[in-house]
Homo-oligomer: A and B are copies of this chain.
Amino acid sequence: MSKKRVVIAGMGFGGLRASKVLAEKDIELIMIDRNNYHLFQPLLYQVATAGLEQEAIAYPLRGLTRRWQGDSFLLAEISGIDLNDKCVLTDSGKVPYDYLIVAAGSRTNFFGMESVATYAFDLKRLDQAEDLRNHILLMYEKASRETDPQKKAALLTFVIVGGGPTGVEFSGALRELIVYVLSLDHPAISATETRIVLVEAAESLLTAMPDELRRYAHDKLRSMGVEVMLETRVVGATAESVELYGGAMIASHTLFWSAGVAAAELAGNLSGVERGAAGRIVVQPDLSLSNHPEVFVVGDMACCVNNGVPLPMMAPVASQQGQYAARMVLARERGKTLPPFHYFDKGSMATIGKSSAVATTAGFNFRGYIAWLAWLLLHLYYLIGFRNRLVVMMNWTYAYWFQERQVRLITAKKRRAVPV
């Protein structure tokens, strides 16, 4: 009897963890991704704010898979899955499977607002982070030769939508880039001429955090010079303005959107599956599809209800689900099963600025320097690859001591293509 074939579709946090469980087992493992690297998405915002080079947060997948005898990696775009025929459809042909772990992640959710989708920047891919960095630096270059005060103010106004960890971390990092670096680079522009506006629809930032930490983050951002607008919604945009609910306009050339995520397009291409909020695929307690026990969906794509609410779209959930699905495959092959998936919540954290972060774990809340240090160490730990850790640590140390960010390069002057 030939070996059973397990296909992993997508090598983000969920797929990566699943692959480590399944590698060199008595199955044939095929890993598919559209990129030849695993991307450490939580640090994309640091690439966008000139703190890290893009290569430091990407790890070449073949550097991992080449050690695994008999397993293989396929660089391909997945267009769909034929659940009845048991094969994955890609731009390199059909890939049949016996078991499938779908881990294609998420995309930004603009909630159908076309103008926002057209003009906003978001951070899901490496090239988007580079584009946003180029754009921010270019706004400063343009402002430094702009003589009309109104136009100059619009170039120097940055609107960030979404008060979750990404919006908070990006706001703080952008403010530090401006105060410590760009203000010195451009003597003609004072840091006080620059506005960073953080817009959140709810009544507080970091709604998943305890009240004490929310207030700390809010106060800290305001003391750094970030304007926080709560209970405010962005409803439209042009290249030079952002429209708020109620009709108010903010003159700004930069809109960063981190106010929503939805399951990757692939979720919409599957027929006969039940979908929950944000297009996520509803899974059984063992993460499989109800009619297809050989197919597991993990991570951002999966709508896995825990204590009555779907689990959040976060890296730790994806990792734990990837590991579970892989173990479940191995258990089934041995004629066994596992207890239902249970998410172990280790807590959450967000960094705000130098020596300042918030973290909550096991009922304990941390803030300030100790939370910041924990944030640094955990992110280094979860980053893949010795060399990447070294490069990131070097950048952080350098930034800490010299208040300098040397990756402030405008590597392309073209505006990114309008997203589909």
Q: Which residues from chain A sit less than 8 Å from chain B, CB to CB? A: 35-37, 53-56, 58-60, 62-63, 66, 74-75, 92, 126-127, 137, 141, 145, 184-187, 385, 387-388, 390-391, 394, 398, 404, 406-412
Contacts and interface: CB of A to CB of B under 8 A. Distances in A.
A404 B35 contact: no
A34 to B, nearest CB: 8
A16 to B, nearest CB: 16
A47 to B, nearest CB: 10
14 contacts: A36-B141, A36-B410, A55-B406, A55-B409, A58-B409, A60-B408, A62-B408, A63-B408, A66-B184, A66-B186, A75-B410, A387-B398, A387-B406, A388-B406
Contact of A127 (B37, B145, B412): B412
Identical chains in the assembly? 2
B385 A390 contact: no
Contacts of A187: 66
Contacts of A63: 185, 404, 406, 408
Contacts of A411: 54, 58, 126-127
A405 to B, nearest CB: 9
Given A66-B185, A185-B66, A410 B35 contact: yes
Contacts of A66: 184-187
B53 A56 contact: yes
A412 B129 CA distance: 13
Nearest to A408: B60
B36 A137 contact: yes
Contact of A391 (B127, B391, B409): B391
Contacts of A75: 141, 410
B62 A406 contact: no
A108 B185 CA distance: 32
A249 to B, nearest CB: 28
Q: Which 8 A/B pairs are nearest by Cβ-Cβ distance?
A: A62-B185, A53-B55, A75-B141, A36-B410, A387-B406, A60-B408, A37-B409, A53-B53
Nearest to A406: B387
A75 to B, nearest CB: 5
Contacts of A186: 62, 66
A398 B389 CA distance: 13
Nearest to A399: B387
A54 B56 CA distance: 11
Contacts of A59: 406
Contacts of A412: 127
Contacts of A385: 406
A411 B145 CA distance: 32
Contacts of A127: 411-412
A127 B127 CA distance: 12
A148 to B, nearest CB: 14
Contacts of A145: 74, 92
B391 A36 contact: no
A165 to B, nearest CB: 25
A409 B56 CA distance: 11
A387 to B, nearest CB: 5
Contacts of A74: 145
Given A185-B62, A187-B66, A394-B391, A55 B407 contact: yes
A127 B406 CA distance: 18
User: Which of A58, A74, A127, A184 counts the most chain B CB atoms within 10 A?
Assistant: A58
